[in-house]
Amino acid sequence: MTLEEQLAFFDRYFDQAYARSLRDFKHRKEEIRSRARQRLIDGEKVYGDQGFHWSYKRLDDEEMQEHSDAPMYRLMKMKQGWM
């Protein structure tokens, strides 16, 4: 897809992808909890507790990047027919 096609798809389906991401986030809470816990364990070996000392701004920026990724992955699934 060209960038123009990607942007058109984004503009057309973002609200739907966002809503589906929120629904998934709610319905997959236990899976998310389990994976997040494992990521904490795995990450500690590499990063220690660095993240717990980051500034509010950095934490907010990192969190927003993660939030922004979710509907993008959903859009990609939708494009492939995985609603």
Token pair belonging to 60: 């907010």
* pLDDT tens digits, one per residue of 19-46: 999 999 999 999 999 999 999 999 999 9
Instruction: Say what the pLDDT of residue 83 is.
Output: 73
d(CA 16, CA 82): 13
Helices then strands, each counted (H, E), the chain: 3, 0
pTM of the model: 0.83
